[in-house]
Structure 1
């Protein structure tokens, strides 16, 4: 991110790890010996999306907020932004952090989508999963995919190669409008926090990455949903989904075996709008679903 200053959160320390030839930034909080929780941010954001959730979880968890490839303070190579590559990044980062035991996982928005794919690709690496404001790979039965497509109208301004990056760089008011529109109550935003995410996407390399993340989703993930590519794959990781009752983008997903869906007050940015609800749901879900090692019990 060049010379952009790092936002400050009390108790958070920063580190970089090398994985798949890329430098990844991780914001970490909580005791090093506590159970690890990996947090994956959503589109248009970076690790700071969790700034209100981290203090809620760090008392009894080792909280790891990863900047995805090309986001925040992680390196931004020219390629590798399709979901399969991003999931491979996640596995490599877990290895670089020497997290051999399954981790607790929380993913918001596109980070939630990647969380589902990680649970399918490497279920032995995830002990329990909390997904926020996202879809799952079985979301649309055949013939229903177009029903909610209108909710993603804004992507038309951001996803087309060469155009999206220019909109992100030179039309910050549009990004600001959407971040406010995605919340049930825009007053939840502190002006400085809102501007952090708006201004971060104006950097040329970050605008290009945001464009690529959406375009690769169009090329690979939408066809997978439309053709039911994942219909025969079973989710074995215990999973809870939280959906905002006033989320203008993603609606509560149809029931799927292995996924508990819960609707809570809020919009599309639950980590910003309802951090205590997110942290409480995570703690409860992990307590119900994760079997502690004998040493932890003792």
Structure 2
């Protein structure tokens, strides 16, 4: 295991047994402080938040979780196990298992999609919501139908519907795909040890199929996003641009579904802005959280 995954400054590793899956998480900050729950995206794991954990552990009990199918968390084998309702239910049970009734919820990419849905499904459990480069799921579906430019960027979502082949492609040449992704971080490229951490996490048995099943389940009938009135939870949307996968207009489209929303665009960055421009991301989150 790469040494960076056991860095004590990032917190303590632990597990929680939920109704139908065991989740691994890393917790930092004093117990009893308000909970900040961090949900990573694809292809990431809890380590995605290595620049946010030290920043916010002074004021929060910061918990970075490996979502189901990722890292050291359980990896259910069926596509339907990764429907958005199951992913949101994991967060509901996790918050309670940690001894809390609510949290500041922060999600990037797929973690953002889960955070959006969770905030609608369990509104009272979200004090504030922070979304990083993740479109509102309902606005995204509409946007895809009317913007061919975004449809082209989303080609990989269609490719992921193919059985077995995506997993094989990611594992080729000693998981070289993760080195390629790291090169997109123009301002803050990862160290060799950090790249090895991603390779290590995704080379475990079943560690590719679970994450790709998020996309497969999203196209199935099991996945239904909450369609409620405008979300009342105060929301910050952070958007790194240029994003190779998502158009910046999607950040603003979410305003149609949220009562109180702020958008922070961080230029000269990437889809992985939390890694690429962590100081700017942390400053935006801190500014948002200090407003009552």
Alpha-carbon distance in 2 for matches of 1:96, 1:23: 12
1:218: how far off?
2.7
Please give the residue correspondences for 1:126-137 in structure 2 after superposition, counting only pairs within 5 Å. Answer: 126-137=126-137
1:251: how far off?
2.3
1:165: how far off?
2.0
Alpha-carbon distance in 2 for matches of 1:72, 1:135: 24
What SS does the aligned partner of 1:235 have?
Answer: coil
What SS does the aligned partner of 2:73 have?
Answer: coil
Alpha-carbon distance in 2 for matches of 1:216, 1:118: 17
Normalization by structure 1: what TM-score? 0.85
Task: Work out whether 1:246 is the aligned partner of 2:245.
Answer: no
**For residue 261 of structure 1, what is the aligned residue in structure 2?**
263
**For residue 233 of structure 1, what is the aligned residue in structure 2?**
229
Alpha-carbon distance in 1 for matches of 2:187, 2:114: 27
**For residue 181 of structure 2, what is the aligned residue in structure 1?**
178
Alpha-carbon distance in 2 for matches of 1:220, 1:195: 36
Kept in 2: contact 1:22–1:75 (CA 8 A): yes
Aligned counterpart for 1:161 among listed residues 157, 160, 163: 163
Alpha-carbon distance in 1 for matches of 2:180, 2:282: 27
1:31: how far off?
1.3
Kept in 1: contact 2:171–2:203 (CA 8 A): yes
* Mean Cα deviation higher: 90-99 or 274-283: 274-283
Alpha-carbon distance in 2 for matches of 1:271, 1:57: 14
**For residue 6 of structure 2, what is the aligned residue in structure 1?**
8
1:209: how far off?
0.8
Q: Deviating runs (4+, > 3 A) in structure 1?
A: 3-6, 140-143, 154-159, 229-233
**For residue 209 of structure 1, what is the aligned residue in structure 2?**
210
Alpha-carbon distance in 1 for matches of 2:99, 2:226: 30
Kept in 2: contact 1:165–1:210 (CA 8 A): no
Alpha-carbon distance in 1 for matches of 2:96, 2:35: 13
Change (3 A) 1:199 1:170: farther
Change (3 A) 1:29 1:167: same
Normalization by structure 2: what TM-score? 0.87
* Mean Cα deviation higher: 8-17 or 134-143: 134-143
1:187: how far off?
5.1
Change (3 A) 1:9 1:139: farther
**For residue 280 of structure 2, what is the aligned residue in structure 1?**
277
Alpha-carbon distance in 2 for matches of 1:179, 1:154: 18
Change (3 A) 1:4 1:92: farther
1:10: how far off?
3.3
Please give the residue correspondences for 1:1-298 in structure 2 after superposition, counting only pairs within 5 Å. Answer: 7-11=5-9, 12-79=11-78, 80-100=81-101, 102-140=102-140, 141=142, 143-144=145-146, 146-171=148-173, 172-181=175-184, 183=185, 185=186, 188-219=189-220, 233-252=229-248, 253=250, 254=253, 255-256=255-256, 257-258=258-259, 259-265=261-267, 266-289=269-292
1:111: how far off?
0.3
